[in-house]
Structure 1
């Protein structure tokens, strides 16, 4: 080894990134674009919520870039789990469906970045650096929408039962799954439907999902 080689400046430590998105083409393209950044390294990819958790435990990323809607567990649920499983990992949500309720849930889960999928790869790289530095970045339009829409009027139990009713299940089945009396379930669903100004519980489910409250 030549003497001057031992004194070469060592490259700065790269930010280790986990990418989780069930759309393989988008995830692959994003990984390729982020790999062009000198200070970023995509150390793992995942196509579902459970896979993202497993990859985070195995690879100890600095930042996890999570799609909001994934099979098994959504990005917010993954972020909430990572607060315990990988407390040193900053989390951010990238979504094509940035509804107000999703942002509120994300912030409660400790997410430090919340951006739409329309963001450029270069801008995403900048936000990854921001999150890694311990700061927060919320897309201004998504934040404005969240402020204007207000909080969900539904109680936790009403939201839970609406979610159980989402696939058209009859009251008897919902009652069995929730371990409640059928009359109690009807009362909760009626209250939720009224609060949302919907014609029936099916319309209430749609209305709540459009606002990100389910």
Structure 2
């Protein structure tokens, strides 16, 4: 892991793909150090660990992507593209398991309505506005309005910031 950290600091790649089980230490512990040393480098975790707790910890530590090795052929390039654009990617199957696996108690943060929290949770789970509209029986325009209201009130603009907010407030744990 020290080599990966040294190389990331020296070359400052746009996206760095890390294996959680690399020799020389835990990549999970290295993510905050890498983010501090190379804040413009997006981190995508590639791992065999399909435990929702690992994914949650990696995303909370600052990773923008979490790809399972078993799905790397289909998902890795998409995760890298999204991370390079500042967006988050989470393996969909693992995201569903995270949503079903509570880690910490959560309450409605910042006086958000239940509907806004549901929209925010679905955004964080990488659903499009039209998918959210279909799931919640709303118009796409209504979802866009909820999203704009959420972004304005919590002062977050990108999808990555919304995902981070949702993770920090336990919205993926419900």
Q: SS in structure 1 opposite 2:21?
A: coil
Q: Distance in 2 between matches of 1:125 and 1:147?
A: 24
Which of 62, 65, 84 lines up with 1:110 in the alignment?
A: 62
Tell me the residue number matched to 1:78: 30
Q: TM-score, normalised by structure 1?
A: 0.46
Residue 147 in structure 1 maps to residue 104 in structure 2: no
Change (3 A) 1:123 1:141: closer
Instruction: Tell me how large the CA RMSD over aligned residues is.
Output: 1.8
- Aligned ranges for residues 59-98 of structure 1 at < 5 Å? 59-98=11-50
**Higher helix residue share:** 2
Residue 100 in structure 1 maps to residue 56 in structure 2: no
Residue 130 in structure 1 maps to residue 82 in structure 2: yes
Question: Which structure 2 segments of 5+ residues have no match?
Answer: 106-174
Preserved CA contact (<8 Å) 1:62 1:132: yes
Quote how far apart the aligned CAs of 1:97 are.
1.4
Preserved CA contact (<8 Å) 1:52 1:78: no
Tell me the residue number matched to 1:209: none
Preserved CA contact (<8 Å) 2:67 2:75: no
Quote how far apart the aligned CAs of 1:61 are.
0.8
Quote how far apart the aligned CAs of 1:98 are.
1.7
After the TM superposition, list the runs of 4 or more consecutive aligned residues in structure 1 that deviate by more than 2 angstroms.
119-123
Q: TM-score, normalised by structure 2?
A: 0.56
Question: Which structure 1 segments of 5+ residues have no match?
Answer: 1-48, 154-214
Q: Distance in 2 between matches of 1:127 and 1:101?
A: 19
Which of 40, 50, 57 lines up with 2:9 in the alignment?
A: 57
Preserved CA contact (<8 Å) 1:60 1:89: yes
